[in-house]
C-alpha cells in the first residue's frame, strides 16, 4: 500500500474517532471533550497538509494518481456476468490532495472557532461530535474511488447536515429546516442514484476508473440519450447538494444551524461536494448534459444574486450568495471551464468560510442579532473582524488582487469561449447571466459591508419584540440584556478569520494577480479528456457532421476512435492538453476571451460597487423608495421568487393529499372489499344456516311431526272395543261398494 | 442439530407446562434460556455452514447432500393408497443459502421477543406456551425441505398467532386475530391443493417414487411429462403458480392482500408485532424463493414484470399510506409493507444483485423493523398512546431513547452505513440491470424520498420542537432542578431501562455492522442465489426442455 494511501486512511478515520469518543463520552470529559475534537482535527489537518505537500509540491505532476482498493462485497460467480465483486477504494490525485487540505483546514479552524462560539451551549460536546462525523463523511466523498462509495458518503454528509441544522432542535423552525434539507437532498439523490444505476447496468462496476475506461472503449450498450440522461441524473445529485435551482430552497433555511456549521458545511465544503462530484464525473458528461448543467448554473447564479440583494438577515445574504457562487462553479463545469470551476470552489471555500465565521463573530458579539438593519458602526468595535470580513468581501465581489477575482474571471472567460464555440445565440445567455450576477454580487456585498460596519450603531432602532434567539440558544456567555458594548471576539475566533482572509489573497494561488492560469493551481488541475466526445462515441452519420464542422473550424480532420483523437491532441500555451475537439475549441476560445472577461467583469464589479455607494453610502437614492417604486420586483426578490410557496402548494400539499387519499382508499376500498367479502360470507352463512334450520332441519322435523301426528291419530283408532271395529269394517265395506258401483256405471 | 433448534422451544414449552402458573419468573426464564440456546445453536450452524454449496436443487443423481447442509431425513408417514401408489411423507430438514440467514434471524428475533414479553402480565404461562409453539413453527418452516412438513409448520404458526393476538392484544383484538387467521388460511388452502398436485407430478430420482421433497421438485427433469403439473400441462402450471403466489403474497403482505397487517400490528402486543414483522412476513417471500419460483420457473419468467409492478405498488403505496397515519404503530406497519415491496422488486429482477438484495433485505428488515416495533412499544408502555401528535420535544427529556430512535428511523429510511441501505441499493441495482424491471425500478426510487418523508416527519413531530399542549405527559421539575417530563401511570425509568437496552443495543450493533460490512450475512447467500438465478433463467429451462 502506498504510504500516501495509509496516511489518507488515517485522515479519513481520525474524525470518525473524534465522533465516536465525543458522542459517547463527552459528558464525562473535562470541557466536554472539545480539546479532543480540536486536537484530532489538528492532527488530521497536519496529515492532510503532508499529503498536499507530497502530491502538489514535491511531485508537481498534473497526472499524479495513486489508487488502492479492496473487495467489499463478493457476489461470487454471477450467471451471465462472471465473477462479480464490489470494490471500495481510495484514489489520490491532485484534486483529492487539494480538497483534503482545504476540507481539513477549514474543519480544523471551525472546530477551533466553535470553542468560542458554542461555549456554554447545553449540547456543547455533541456539537463537536457532529462536526467529527461530518468531516469524516466529507473526506469520504473526497477520497472515494467509486460511485457507490461516493453515494454512501454523500448521504452521510446529508445526515450530518441534518443533525447540525437541527442542532437547536427545540426551535420548530430548525426542526423544519433540517427535514427540508434532508428531503430536498434526497430528491437530488434519487436522480444521482438512477444515474449510477444506468452506468452500473452496463459495466457491472461502480469504479470511476473502470467506467471511464469502458466508456472510452465505446462499450456503452444503451443509446446516446441514456448516456446524456446518466450525466444529467448524476448532476441531479449536485443540484441537491450544491443547492442549484430547482432544489436550492433548502440551503437558506439551513442557516438555522449554528453559524460555524453554516461556514463549514453550508458554505465551504459540503455544498461544494456537488461541484466536486460533477468534476469527478466530468469526462462522461455528453455535450447535451453539459448544456443543461451550464444553464442551470447560470440561472442559479443569477436568481440567487437577485434574492441576496434584498435580504435583511446577515446570514441569509451570505446564504444566497453561496447559492449564487455555487451556480458559478456549476456554470463553469457546464461550459467546460473545468479547472476554473474547481479553482473557484477552493477560493470560494476560503473566503466564504471567512465571511460566515466573520458574521458569526458579529452575531456572537451582538448577542444573536442577525438583522443588518439594527447593526452598523461595527468597524470601530471589531477591527479584526472588519478587516478580515472586508478582504473576504473583496474576494467574493471579485476585485483584483483577490483570489475570487482570478477564479471568477476564469469561469467567465470559459463562458464566453463556450458561447462562441457553440455559435452564439442563446448560448450567450450563460456569460450574460454570469456578468449580471457579478454586478449584483458587488452590489449586495457593498450593501452588507456598509450596513454592518459603517455608519452609526442602529441597535436602539430595533422595534421591541420578544427575542426568541436567547431562549433557543440557551447561551450563557455572561452578556444579558439588550444594550451593552460590542467587543471584538477572543483569539480562538479571531485566528481562523485571519488565516482564512490570508488565503483569499491572490499570491497564494498565482504570482500574477490578473491571471490565475499562470499559477500552480491551474497547472495542477487540468481539464481531463472526455470519454464520450464525438470522436469516441456517436453514430457514424452524426459523427461525420460534427466532425466536419469542427474540422472546418480547427483546421484538422477528425478520425473516429479514441487513439486517433489523442493523436490530434492540441497543446495550449499553458500546457493544457485536450484530446477532444469540442473541448479543445472551447479551451482555445476561452483563452482568447481572457482579457475580454477581465474587462467586462471589472466594469460590472465597479458598477455594482458604485451602485452600492449611491444607495447606501451617499444616499443619493433612497433604497426604501426604490423598493416601493419597483414593488413587484422587490417583492419577488424579497420573497425568494416564491419558490417555497410554490413547492408548498404543489409538491408538499400534493404529496400529503395523495397520502390521505390512498390511506382512505386503503381503509375503505381495499379493506372494504376484504370486510365486504367477510360480511357476504357471513350473510351467506346465515342464509345457509337458516336454510339448514328451516328447510333441511324443517324436513326432518316435519317428518317426525308427521309420523308423530299420524301416530297420534292412528292410535285413537285402536280403542280395543269390538263395536268400534265392527263399525269400521262396515264403513270400509260400504266404501268399497260405493267404489265398485261407480266403476260399473262409468 | 436442526431438529434440536426447531423443537427446543417446544421442549421449553413442555417444561413450562409442568411449572405452576404462579411461578411467572421461572416461566419467563425457561423461555429465555430456550431462546438463548436456540441462538447459540444458530450461531453454531452459521459457523459450520459452508457457503460454497449451492442448495436449491439436488446434486447430480438427486442427492441433496453436497448441496444442502445439516440434512436430517427420515421417513415419516407412509400411506398405501392402493392402485394410486403410496403416500410417502418425509421428515426432511436442511439448510442452504436461502434458509441459513433466516434461521439466524428467527433465533435472534425470537430471543428478543422473549425479552420483550417480560411486560406481559396476563396469563403468563399460557402466553409463553403459545409463544414457544410459535417459535418452533417458524423455525420449522425455514428448515423444512419436505413440502408436506413445510405445510404442517406453516399451518402450525396460525394457531398460536391467533390466540396471541386474540387474547393478549388491544381493544379490537378479536377482529384482528380472526382476520389474520382467515386471510392466511385462505391462502394456504390452495397451497394444499397445489402440494398434492405436485406430489403426483414429481418422481424422486433416488427412489423412483412420488415425493414431497422440495429438493426433487426444484429440478424440472424430475417432473412426469403428462402429469397434472408436468411440463405438458402449461395451463395448470400457471394456475398452480398463481394460487401458490397468492398464498405467499398474503403473508408478505402484497397489495391488495395487505390489509390484515396494519390491523394485526395495531392490536398485537409488542413482542408479537416484533415476531410478526421480524420473521413471519419473511416466510412469504421465503416461500416464493424456495417453492413458488423454482418449481415453476417458466411461469416465473412470464410473470416477472407483474411481480415487479406489485413490488413497486407496495413500495410507493405503503409509503404514502404511512405518511397519512396518525398512529405510530400503524405507520410502522405500513412502512413494513413498503419495505417488503423492495423484496418483491428484487425478486422480480431475477438476477444475482436483485435477489441477493432481496434476501439481504429480508434479513435487514427483520432486524430493523423489530427495532421499530420495540421502540413503539417503549413509548406505548409509558404514555399509553401511540398518537404521533400527542408527543413533541421528547428528545430533550429521553435522550437515549431519542438516540436509538434516530438510528432505527434512519436505518429504516435506508441511510448508508446502516444495513437497510445495502439491501435496498442492491435491489435497485438488480432491478435496474434487468431489462424487464428497469422502468419499474425508475418509478420505485420515489419510495426513497417518501420513505424519508414519513419517517423524518414523525421524528420531528414526536421528538423535536417542544412539548405540545395536549401531549400525553406533563412537564415537572425533577429532583435536580431540571425540567423533565412525567407520564401518567408510569413508575418505571423515564428513559430506557436495562431490559429495553438489552433488546435494542444488539439490534443497533447488528444494523450498523451489517451496514458497513455486509459479507458475514451476504456471503452466506451468494452461491445459493447465483444458483437460483440459474435455475430460474430461460437458458437453463431451454437446456431442460
Taking only the tens place, the pLDDT of each residue in B87-113 is: 888 899 999 999 999 999 999 999 999
Q: What residues are paired with B89 via a beta bridge?
A: B77
The nearest CA of chain B is from the CA of A468 a distance in Å of: 14
Contact list in B for residue A201 (CB cut-off 8 A) is 429, 432-433, 438
B321 touches A at CB < 8 Å = yes
B442 in A contact zone (CB under 8 Å): yes
In DSSP notation, B379-441 reads HHHHHS--BGGG---HHHH-HHHHHHHHHHHHHHTT-TTSHHHHHHHHHHHHHHHSTTTHHHH
- Cα distance between residue B342 and residue B377, in whole Å: 25
For residues A307 and A356, membership in a common domain is answered with: yes
Same domain, A652 and A731: yes
Q: What is the pLDDT of residue A538?
A: 38
Residues B318 and B345 sit within 8 Å (Cβ to Cβ): no
Inter-chain CB proximity A190 and B446 less than 8 Å? yes
Tell me which residue has cell 489537518: A45
Kindly give the residue spans of alpha helices, DSSP state H, lying in B276-393. Answer: 281-287, 293-295, 297-324, 328-349, 352-383
Residues 172-231 of B with CB under 8 A from A: 179, 182-183
Q: Are residues A725 and A607 part of one domain?
A: no
B441 within some domain: yes
Contact A159 B415 (CB under 8 A): yes
Q: Kindly state the DSSP code that residue B129 receives in the 8-state scheme.
A: H
**In whole angstroms, how far apart are CA B139 and each of B93, B109, B111, B118, B154?**
11, 11, 13, 22, 10
Within-domain flag for B231: no
CB B87 within 8 A of CB B81: yes
| Interchain proximity A170–B464, CB inside 8 Å | yes
Q: How many domains does chain B have?
A: 1
Q: Which of B320, B433, B456 sits opposite A201 (nearest CB)?
A: B433
**Rounded Cα–Cα distance for residues B86 and B199 (Å):** 11
Name the B residues in 323-352 with CB < 8 Å from any A CB.
323-325, 351-352
User: Is A559 within 8 Å of chain B by CB?
Assistant: no
Q: Within its chain, how far is the Cα of A577 from the centroid? A: 32
Go through A367-386 and write b for each residue having 16 or more CB atoms within 10 A of its CB, e for each that does not: bbbbebebbbbbbebbebbb
Asked if residue B142 lies in contact with residue B157, where contact means CB atoms within 8 angstroms, the answer is no
Is the alpha carbon torsion for B254, B257, B258, B264 positive or negative?
negative
Dihedral angle over CA of A690, A694, A699, A702, nearest 10: 160
CB B416 to CB A151 under 8 A? yes
Rounded distance, CA A342 to CA A95, Å? 8
Q: Look at the block and give the residue holding cell 423515564.
A: B494
How close does chain A come to B13, measured CA to CA in Å?
A: 35
In our burial notation (b when 16+ CB lie closer than 10 A, e otherwise), range B205-221 reads: beeeebbbbbbbbbbbe
Are B352 and A75 inside 8 Å of each other by CB?
Answer: yes
**pLDDT of B334 over the 90 cut:** yes
> Which among B174, B253, B358, B417 is the top mutation candidate for probing chain A, defined by the most A β-carbons within 10 Å of its own β-carbon?
B417
Whether residues A349 and A419 share a domain: the answer is: yes
Q: Which residues of B touch A73 (CB under 8 A)?
A: 422, 518-519, 522
* Cβ-Cβ contacts under 8 Å, B442 against chain A: 194
Q: What is the dihedral of CA B16, B20, B26, B28, to 10 degrees?
A: 60
| Cα four-point dihedral sign A179, A185, A188, A191 | negative
Per the CB < 8 A criterion, the answer to whether B442 and B428 are in contact is no
Strands A65-78 and B473-477: unpaired
CB B72, CB B145: distance < 8 Å:
no
List, for chain A, all residue ranges whose pLDDT scores fall below the cut of 70: 464-484, 533-579
SS3 content of chain A, % helix, strand, coil (to 5): 75, 5, 20
Q: Chain B residue closest to A160 (CA)?
A: B415
Query: Which grid coordinates are listed for A602?
Result: 471589472
Cβ–Cβ under 8 Å, residues B378 and B501: no
SS3 B76: strand
Write the residue in B353, B452, B534 that is nearest to A183 by C-beta.
Answer: B452
For strand B473-477 and strand B86-95, is the pairing parallel, antiparallel, or unpaired? unpaired
What the block records as the C-alpha cell of B237 is 402450471
- Look-up: residue for cell 434516530? B406
Q: Residue B528 belongs to what H/E stretch?
A: helix B519-536
Backbone φ and ψ of B94, nearest 5° = 180, 160
Residue range B164-197, pLDDT digits in tens = 999 998 888 888 998 889 888 888 888 999 998 9
Print the domain residue range for A459. Answer: 290-463+494-511+586-617
Residue in chain A nearest B447 by alpha carbon = A190
* Contacts of B118 by beta carbon, 8 Å cutoff, 6+ apart: B28, B499
Same domain, A327 and A443: yes
B42-90 pLDDT tens trace = 999 999 999 998 888 887 777 888 889 999 998 888 887 776 677 888 8
Cell numbers at B30, concatenated: 425457561
In which residue are the cell numbers 467529527 written?
A132
Q: Is residue A520 part of a domain?
A: no
Q: pTM for the whole thing?
A: 0.89
Q: Where are the alpha helices (DSSP H) in B144-233?
A: 147-168, 173-199, 214-217
Q: Where are the alpha helices (DSSP H) in A242-313?
A: 250-253, 259-263, 270-280, 287-308
Angle (CA) B260-B411-A255 rounded to 5° is: 120
Nearest alpha carbon to residue B503 among B381, B386, B420, B337:
B381
Residue B503's nearest CA partner among B404, B394, B416 is B404
Whether A153 and B415 lie within 8 Å, measured CB to CB:
no
Which residue in the block uniquely carries the three cell numbers 482564512?
A500
B317 vs A contacts (CB less than 8 Å)? 662, 666
Residue B201 covered by a domain: no
B542 to chain A: which residues are within 8 Å by CB? Answer: none
**How many domains, in total, are found in chain A?**
2
The answer to whether B453 and B322 have CB atoms below 8 angstroms apart is no
Q: Which residue of B has its CA nearest to A190?
A: B445
List the single residue in A76, A193, A666 with the smallest CB-CB distance to B321: A666
Q: Which domain holds residue B392?
A: 296-545
Classify residue B302: in a domain, yes or no: yes
Contacts of B310 (CB under 8 A, 6+ apart): B249, B254, B255, B341, B344
Q: Burial letters for B340-356: b for 16+ Cβ neighbours within 10 Å, e otherwise?
A: bbbbbbbbbbbbbbbbb
Q: How far apart are CA B94 and CA B71, in angstroms?
A: 4
Could you give the 3-state DSSP secondary structure of residue B110? helix
pLDDT, tens digit, for every residue of A71-91? 999 998 888 888 999 999 999
Contact between B53 and B68 (Cβ < 8 Å): yes
- CA B303, B304, B307, B308 dihedral sign is negative
Torsion, Cα A205 A206 A210 A215, to 10 degrees, reads 90
Contacts of range B203-209, beta carbons closer than 8 Å, 24 or more positions apart? B204/B62, B205/B58, B205/B61, B205/B62, B206/B61, B206/B62, B206/B63, B207/B88, B209/B85, B209/B86, B209/B88
Q: Which residue has the cell 472546530?
A: A111
Question: How close does chain A come to B459, measured CA to CA in Å?
Answer: 9
Indicate whether B447 belongs to any domain. yes
| Interface contact flag, A670 B452, Cβ < 8 Å | no
Residue A246: phi and psi, rounded to 5, are -95, 10
Would an 8 Å CB–CB cutoff place A197 in contact with chain B?
A: yes
Amino acid at each position: 500500500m502506498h504510504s500516501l494511501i495509509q496516511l489518507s486512511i488515517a485522515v479519513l478515520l481520525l474524525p470518525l474517532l473524534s465522533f465516536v469518543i465525543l458522542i459517547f463520552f463527552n459528558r464525562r470529559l473535562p470541557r466536554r471533550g472539545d480539546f479532543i475534537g480540536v486536537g484530532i482535527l489538528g492532527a488530521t489537518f497536519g496529515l492532510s497538509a503532508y499529503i498536499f505537500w507530497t502530491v502538489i509540491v514535491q511531485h508537481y505532476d498534473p497526472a499524479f494518481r495513486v489508487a488502492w482498493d479492496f473487495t467489499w462485497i463478493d457476489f461470487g460467480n454471477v450467471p451471465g456476468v462472471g465473477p462479480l465483486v464490489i470494490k471500495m477504494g481510495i484514489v489520490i490525485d491532485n484534486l483529492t490532495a487539494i480538497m483534503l487540505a482545504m476540507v481539513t483546514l477549514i474543519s480544523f479552524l471551525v472546530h477551533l472557532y466553535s470553542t468560542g462560539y458554542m461555549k456554554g451551549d447545553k449540547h456543547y460536546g455533541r456539537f463537536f461530535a457532529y462536526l467529527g462525523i461530518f468531516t469524516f463523511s466529507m473526506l469520504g466523498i473526497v477520497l472515494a474511488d467509486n460511485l457507490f462509495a461516493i453515494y454512501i458518503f454523500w448521504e452521510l454528509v446529508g445526515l450530518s447536515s441534518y443533525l447540525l441544522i437541527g442542532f437547536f432542535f427545540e426551535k420548530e423552525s430548525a426542526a423544519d429546516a433540517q427535514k427540508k434539507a434532508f428531503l430536498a437532498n434526497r430528491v437530488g439523490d434519487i436522480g444521482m442514484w438512477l444515474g449510477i444505476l444506468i452506468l452500473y447496468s452496463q459495466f457491472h462496476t461502480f469504479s470511476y476508473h473502470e467506467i471511464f475506461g469502458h466508456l472510452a472503449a465505446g462499450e456503452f450498450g444503451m443509446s446516446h440519450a441514456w448516456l446524456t440522461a446518466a450525466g444529467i441524473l448524476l448532476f441531479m445529485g449536485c443540484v441537491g447538494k450544491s443547492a442549484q435551482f430547482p432544489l436550492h430552497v433548502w440551503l437558506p433555511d439551513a442557516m438555522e444551524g449554528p453559524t460555524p456549521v453554516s461556514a463549514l458545511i453550508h458554505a465551504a465544503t459540503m455544498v461544494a461536494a456537488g461541484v466536486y462530484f460533477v468534476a469527478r464525473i466530468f469526462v462522461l458528461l455528453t455535450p447535451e448534459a453539459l448544456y443543461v448543467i451550464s444553464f442551470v448554473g447560470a440561472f442559479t447564479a443569477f436568481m440567487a444574486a437577485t434574492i441576496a440583494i434584498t435580504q435583511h438577515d446577515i446570514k441569509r445574504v451570505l446564504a444566497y450568495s453561496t447559492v449564487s457562487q455555487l451556480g458559478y462553479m456549476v456554470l463553469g463545469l457546464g461550459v467546460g471551464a473545468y479547472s476554473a470551476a474547481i479553482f473557484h470552489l477552493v477560493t470560494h471555500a476560503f473566503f466564504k468560510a471567512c465571511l460566515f465565521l466573520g458574521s458569526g463573530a458579529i452575531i456572537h458579539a451582538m448577542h444573536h442579532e442577525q438583522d443588518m438593519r439594527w447593526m452598523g458602526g461595527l468597524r470601530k468595535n471589531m477591527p479584526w473582524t472588519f478587516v478580515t470580513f472586508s478582504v473576504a468581501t473583496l474576494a467574493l465581489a471579485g476585485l483584483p488582487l483577490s483570489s475570487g477575482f482570478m477564479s471568477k474571471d476564469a469561469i467567465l472567460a470559459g463562458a464566453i469561449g463556450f458561447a462562441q464555440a457553440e455559435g452564439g445565440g442563446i448560448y450567450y445567455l450563460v456569460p450574460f447571466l454570469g456578468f449580471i450576477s457579478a454586478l449584483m454580487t458587488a452590489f449586495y456585498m457593498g450593501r452588507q459591508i456598509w450596513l454592518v460596519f459603517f455608519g452609526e450603531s442602529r441597535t436602539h432602532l430595533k422595534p421591541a419584540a420578544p427575542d426568541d434567539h436567547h431562549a433557543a440558544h440557551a447561551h450563557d456567555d455572561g452578556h444579558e440584556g439588550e444594550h451593552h458594548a460590542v467587543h471584538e471576539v477572543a483569539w480562538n475566533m479571531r485566528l481562523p478569520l485571519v488565516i482564512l482572509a490570508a488565503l483569499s489573497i491572490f499570491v497564494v494561488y498565482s504570482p500574477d494577480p490578473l491571471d490565475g492560469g499562470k499559477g500552480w493551481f491551474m497547472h495542477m488541475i487540468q481539464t481531463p479528456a472526455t470519454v464520450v466526445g464525438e470522436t469516441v462515441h456517436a453514430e457514424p452519420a452524426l459523427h461525420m457532421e460534427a466532425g466536419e464542422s469542427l474540422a472546418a473550424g480547427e483546421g484538422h480532420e477528425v478520425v473516429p476512435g479514441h487513439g486517433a483523437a489523442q493523436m490530434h491532441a492540441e497543446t495550449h500555451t499553458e500546457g493544457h492538453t485536450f484530446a477532444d475537439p469540442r473541448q479543445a475549441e472551447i479551451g482555445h476560445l476561452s483563452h482568447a476571451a481572457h482579457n475580454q472577461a477581465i474587462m467586462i467583469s471589472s466594469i460590472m464589479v465597479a458598477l455594482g460597487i458604485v451602485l452600492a455607494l449611491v444607495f447606501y453610502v451617499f444616499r443619493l437614492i433612497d433604497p426604501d423608495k426604490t423598493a416601493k417604486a419597483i414593488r413587484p420586483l422587490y417583492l419577488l426578490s424579497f420573497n425568494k421568487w416564491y419558490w417555497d410557496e410554490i413547492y408548498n402548494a404543489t409538491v408538499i400539499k400534493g404529496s400529503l393529499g395523495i397520502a390521505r387519499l390512498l390511506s382512505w382508499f386503503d381503509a375503505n376500498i381495499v379493506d372494504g372489499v376484504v370486510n365486504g367479502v367477510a360480511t357476504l360470507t357471513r350473510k351467506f352463512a346465515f342464509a345457509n344456516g337458516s336454510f339448514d334450520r328451516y328447510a333441511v332441519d324443517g324436513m326432518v322435523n316435519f317428518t317426525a311431526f308427521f309420523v308423530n301426528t299420524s301416530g297420534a291419530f292412528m292410535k285413537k283408532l285402536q280403542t280395543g272395543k269390538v263395536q268400534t271395529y265392527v263399525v269400521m269394517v262396515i264403513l270400509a265395506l260400504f266404501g268399497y261398494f260405493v267404489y265398485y258401483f261407480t266403476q260399473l256405471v262409468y | 442439530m436442526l431438529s434440536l433448534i426447531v423443537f427446543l422451544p417446544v421442549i421449553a414449552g413442555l417444561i413450562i407446562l409442568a411449572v405452576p402458573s404462579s411461578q411467572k419468573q421461572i416461566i419467563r426464564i425457561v423461555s429465555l434460556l430456550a431462546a438463548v440456546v436456540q441462538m447459540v445453536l444458530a450461531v453454531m450452524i452459521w459457523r459450520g455452514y459452508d457457503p460454497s454449496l449451492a442448495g436449491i436443487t439436488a446434486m447430480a443423481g438427486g442427492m441433496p447432500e453436497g448441496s444442502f447442509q445439516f440434512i436430517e431425513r427420515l421417513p415419516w408417514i407412509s400411506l398405501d393408497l392402493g392402485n394410486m401408489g403410496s403416500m410417502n411423507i418425509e421428515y426432511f430438514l436442511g439448510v442452504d443459502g436461502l434458509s441459513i440467514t433466516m434461521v439466524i434471524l428467527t433465533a435472534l428475533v425470537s430471543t428478543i421477543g422473549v425479552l420483550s414479553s417480560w411486560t406481559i402480565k396476563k396469563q403468563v404461562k399460557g402466553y409463553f406456551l403459545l409463544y414457544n409453539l410459535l417459535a418452533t413453527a417458524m423455525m420449522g418452516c425455514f428448515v423444512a425441505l419436505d413440502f408436506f412438513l413445510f405445510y404442517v409448520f406453516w399451518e402450525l404458526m396460525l394457531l398460536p398467532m391467533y390466540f396471541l393476538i386474540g387474547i393478549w392484544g388491544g381493544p379490537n383484538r378479536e377482529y384482528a386475530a380472526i382476520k389474520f387467521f382467515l386471510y392466511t388460511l385462505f391462502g394456504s388452502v390452495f397451497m394444499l391443493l397445489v402440494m398434492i398436485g405436485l406430489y403426483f407430478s414429481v418422481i424422486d430420482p433416488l427412489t423412483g417414487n412420488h415425493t414431497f421433497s422440495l429438493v426433487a421438485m426444484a429440478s424440472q427433469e424430475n417432473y412426469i411429462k403428462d402429469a397434472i403439473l408436468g411440463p405438458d400441462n402449461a395451463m395448470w402450471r400457471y394456475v398452480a403458480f398463481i394460487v401458490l403466489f397468492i398464498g405467499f403474497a398474503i403473508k408478505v403482505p402484497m397489495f391488495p392482500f395487505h390489509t390484515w397487517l396494519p390491523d394485526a400490528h395495531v392490536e398485537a402486543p409488542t413482542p408479537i408485532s416484533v415476531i410478526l414483522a421480524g420473521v413471519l412476513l419473511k416466510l412469504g417471500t421465503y416461500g416464493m424463493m424456495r417453492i413458488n419460483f423454482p418449481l415453476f420457473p417458466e411461469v416465473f419468467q412470464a410473470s416477472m414484470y407483474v411481480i415487479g409492478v406489485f413490488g413497486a405498488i407496495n413500495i410507493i403505496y405503503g409509503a404514502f399510506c404511512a405518511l397519512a397515519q396518525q398512529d405510530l404503530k400503524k405507520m410502522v406497519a405500513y412502512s413494513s409493507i413498503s419495505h417488503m415491496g423492495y423484496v418483491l422488486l428484487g425478486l422480480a429482477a431475477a438476477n444475482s444483485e436483485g435477489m441477493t438484495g432481496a434476501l439481504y433485505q429480508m434479513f435487514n428488515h427483520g432486524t430493523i423493523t423489530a427495532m421499530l416495533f420495540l421502540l413503539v412499544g417503549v413509548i406505548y408502555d409509558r404514555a399509553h398512546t401511540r398518537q404521533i401528535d400527542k408527543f413533541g420535544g421528547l428528545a430533550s427529556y429521553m435522550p437515549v431513547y431519542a438516540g436509538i430512535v434516530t438510528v432505527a428511523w434512519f436505518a429504516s429510511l435506508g441511510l448508508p452505513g446502516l444495513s437497510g441501505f445495502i439491501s435496498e441499493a442492491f435491489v435497485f441495482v438488480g432491478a435496474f440491470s434487468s431489462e424487464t424491471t428497469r422502468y419499474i425500478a425508475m418509478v420505485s426510487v420515489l419510495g426513497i424520498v417518501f420513505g424519508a418523508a414519513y419517517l423524518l416527519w414523525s421524528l420531528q413531530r414526536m421528538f423535536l420542537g417542544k412539548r405540545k399542549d395536549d401531549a400525553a405527559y406533563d412537564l415537572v421539575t425533577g429532583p435536580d432542578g431540571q425540567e423533565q417530563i412525567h407520564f401518567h401511570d408510569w413508575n418505571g425509568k423515564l428513559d430506557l431501562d436495562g431490559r429495553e437496552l438489552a433488546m435494542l443495543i444488539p439490534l443497533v450493533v447488528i444494523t450498523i455492522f451489517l451496514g458497513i460490512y455486509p459479507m458475514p450475512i451476504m456471503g452466506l447467500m451468494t452461491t445459493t442465489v447465483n444458483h437460483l438465478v440459474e435455475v430460474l433463467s430461460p437458458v437453463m429451462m431451454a437446456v431442460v426442455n
